Amino acid sequence: MKNKILFKLEWKDYDDCIYYLFIHFDKTKKQFIKDINFLLHKYGEDYLAQEEGFAGADNWITFISKKMSELNYLLVIPITNSFFGTYIIESNEKNNRKWRNIVGKELLNKVILHNKKKKEEMNEIIAG
């Protein structure tokens, strides 16, 4: 059995980003790029005909993402579990509630103590 390769079709512009994930059993990265270019060209007129606003790469990419199945790509919908903030855990405050609920109060307190010691060590080094 061949490996399944995960392909990512992406458009970015500063803070904006869209992407679509696909798997295929027989394609390489080079073939994936060639397939994308092929679909962009093949469906360019169709995309333009249905575009009600300004034509742009983001909407064009979205348009052809729906055509990938023609070339036997399977769309993958990822399941995401995201964490935000809490770069350095220093207290048992509101921002760290999610962590406390996941790891428990005892482990969170050990993390806070660990970081407190590290901060003290850094302050000693800085003080010289």
Could you write out the DSSP letters of every residue in 103-118? H-HHHHHHHHHHHHHH
pTM, whole model, 2 decimals? 0.69
Q: How far apart are CA 56 and CA 11, in angstroms?
A: 10
Cross-strand partners of 8: 21
Q: How far apart are CA 81 and CA 52, in angstroms?
A: 35
With cut-offs at 50, 70 and 90, classify the pLDDT of residue 17.
very high
Domain segments of the chain as ranges: 5-76, 94-127
The pair of structure tokens assigned to 78 is: 């990822």
Count of C-beta atoms within a 10 Å radius of residue 32 = 19
Where would I find the H helices in 1-128?
Answer: 29-42, 44-50, 57-65, 97-103, 105-127
With cut-offs at 50, 70 and 90, classify the pLDDT of residue 4.
confident
The pair of structure tokens assigned to 18 is: 């869209």
Give residue for tokens 């500063």. Answer: 14
**pLDDT reading at 47 higher than 70:** yes
In the chain, the percentage of residues whose pLDDT exceeds 70 is 94
Count of C-beta atoms within a 10 Å radius of residue 103 = 15
